[in-house]
Amino acid sequence: MSLVIEKPRVAFDVSQIKRGYLLWGRHSTWNEGKAGFVTAATEDQLIVQYYPGIGNVTNHFIIPVSEAAEGQWKIRWSSDMADIQEYNIKTDGEQVEEEGVDGGDPGGIDS
């Protein structure tokens, strides 16, 4: 019997999303999503800074990979707003995971 075992685990693909990317996220408990930019991206979590609409204040939210994998988050992100990626966004009754949307209307990135 081995002392060390390997277990598969979920992780963010940090080659797909990096610091400085634009991100819109909505947790299942929120009425609406928040748009901001990624300040940290690791395999375990994403940290997104956003403007809450109060003077010169900024705030942030954290997206743990475990919650994203459980479907608690809807996420859209882009490095240039020309190619927008989506995760866990339902379209026409189907669940879409990490599908790119090429140009055009991003489908309400801040809705």
Question: From CA 111, how far away is CA 67, in angstroms rounded?
Answer: 21
pLDDT of residue 48: 98
pLDDT of 53-80, one tens digit each?
A: 999 999 999 999 999 999 999 999 999 9
Question: From CA 8, how far away is CA 5, in angstroms rounded?
Answer: 10
pLDDT of residue 92: 59
- What per-residue string of b and e applies to 94-110 under the rule 16 or more CB within 10 Å gives b? eeeeeeebeeeebeebe
pLDDT of 18-56, one tens digit each?
A: 999 999 999 999 999 999 999 999 999 999 999 999 999
Q: How far is CA 95 from the centre of its chain?
A: 15
pTM: 0.77
